[in-house]
Amino acid sequence: MRTLDAGRPIAEAVAVAGGRVLAVGSRAALRPLVGPSTARVDCRRATVLPGLLDPHLHLFALAARHVHLDCAGMTDVPGVLAAVRARARELPPGAWLRGDGLDEVCLGRLPTAQELDAAAPEHPVRLRHRSLHASVLSGRALRLLGRVPGRFPNGLVSGREDLLARVVGPLPAGDFARGLAAAGRYLAALGFTTVAEATPRTWRGLAPLRQVMGGGGFPLRVHAMQRAGTPAWQPAGRLHPGPIKIMIEEGAGGLRPRPATLAHRIAAAAASGGQVAVHCVGAATLVAALAAFAALPRGQRAGRRHRLEHLAECPPSLVARIAALGLVVVTNPAFVHWRGDVYRHETPPSVHSWLYRARTLAAAGVPLAAASDAPVVPPSPWVGMAAARTRRTRAGHALAPAERLGAAAALRLYTTGAAFALGADPLGRLVPGGPADLVVVEPDPVVAGADEVAASRVVLTLVAGRQAWPT
């Protein structure tokens, strides 16, 4: 057993009761705790680890993926259109046909509004891009948008996801509950015990999740990111408030919002007393975010664990500044595997060594965590650990190999590192008195080769001492 506790990193046995860890140690030392009603689990050759954490995924979108038309595995537009026609036959006329996971790299191109109208003439169609920041709409769906400024060639609507969500409306409650339950089983089967919903929502907006969690349909702990300027809320059971999330994106017109506006938003969020997480992908967004954090009073930075999400591009000159500002980086090593070949073709070679840095940041003293950003890519932490170690793309190319981490450091990304990023220090380790969140997995991710780790098999997942997987 690997406890991830510096005081006792390796142990033979763990005893749990009442949702907490009673003791960690040798089998002989824990034997007196065994009573007539004690359940005993022999893990044989498998390894016990603390439950894994994903500090940045999109839980509502992942739940929707389980009930929407899933386009993620499709390889051409005719296949997408055939699937749209088949799904349309299952829906009543006029109902929204919703899909997810469009990827123009895999498809060769995106379907057009005209093609979607032909495939589903009686339904408005919205197919969401894999990035979650754009959608392709049918002509019928575009007309439902009303008089919205902007032109949408071929039905591609970018940067209007909040508007589209209001027009399309929420999933029916039963469908959402079914999708969330499926997502919970999926995540628990991967060894997760805690996840963070990275789409910022109000307390009211979290009502569907609270209802499903209250009914036992979603067994994991959830930290939910908050919208800037909305009322703070208190933890409720396994649902906890996460950081205040602030978006910054770079487009043809420059940064959105402008650096001065970004600085104002970060200052307001920090002044409210909360942790701030900034969506930061390109180098220009990083420069603006660092300037905004540097302008904060020291008391609003020290100990707050403000976060940079993704940090896809990090020029060498900015590494020391990230460390000096005390920022936490939540990176995405699995993107190197799933999207690395795209990055190699779309970015100049001079930038490749900047992509999703890990070793350089760690050496500078920057706290690191790993997240999947699912459903942008699959949420497997084991693929993420393997990618952090090898920096190998799906086609077998090494992307920034100098940024490789060792096996133990890769495991910490999803345990103690992720817990630190969430401000949930009791999680991510197995210590007496701590939460009884654990996973039993084959093989041992610190000893096994990276390819073996990527294909890991989770045998058992416990959340607060209760079995979340298998169900």
CB under 8 Å to 224, separation ≥6 — which residues? 196, 197, 201, 206, 209, 239, 240, 241, 242
SS3 468: strand
State how far the Cα of 276 lies from the Cα of 262, in Å rounded to an integer: 12
Q: Do domains 53-60+176-430+451-457 and 68-168 have the same CATH topology?
A: no
Residue with tokens 């949408």: 152
Report the Cα 321 to chain-centroid distance in Å: 25
Of 336, 461, 313, 458, residue with least CA distance to 389: 336
68-168 maps to CATH 3.10.310.70: yes
Residue-level pLDDT, tens digit, the chain, 471 residues? 999 999 999 999 999 999 999 999 999 999 999 999 999 999 988 999 999 999 999 999 999 988 899 998 899 999 999 999 999 999 999 999 999 999 999 999 999 999 999 999 999 999 999 888 899 999 999 988 875 555 677 899 888 888 888 888 888 889 999 999 999 999 999 999 999 999 999 999 999 999 999 999 999 999 999 999 999 999 999 999 999 999 999 988 899 999 999 999 999 999 999 999 999 999 999 999 999 999 999 999 999 999 999 999 999 999 999 999 999 999 999 999 999 999 999 999 999 999 999 999 999 999 999 999 999 999 999 999 999 999 999 999 999 999 999 999 999 999 999 999 999 999 999 999 999 999 999 999 999 999 999 999 999 999 999 999 998
User: What is the DSSP-derived secondary structure letter of residue 395?
Assistant: T
State how far the Cα of 169 lies from the Cα of 179, in Å rounded to an integer: 16
- Supply 301's token pair: 């930075």
142 within 8 A of 112, measured Cβ to Cβ: no
53-60+176-430+451-457 maps to CATH 3.20.20.140: yes
Domain map (residue ranges) of the chain: 53-60+176-430+451-457, 68-168
pTM exceeding the 0.75 threshold for the entire prediction: yes
User: What is the DSSP-derived secondary structure letter of residue 435?
Assistant: B
**Beta strands 239-247 and 457-463: pairing type?**
unpaired
State how far the Cα of 77 lies from the Cα of 260, in Å rounded to an integer: 42
Residue 310's φ and ψ, nearest 5 degrees, are 85, -65
SS3 of 271-324: the string is: HCCCCEEEEECCHHHHHHHHHHHHCCCHHHCCCCCCEEEECCECCHHHHHHHHH
Beta-strand ranges (E) seen in 303-453 are: 307-310, 328-331, 368-370, 438-442
Helix axis angle for 283-294 and 259-271, nearest 10°, is 50
User: What is the DSSP-derived secondary structure letter of residue 192?
Assistant: E
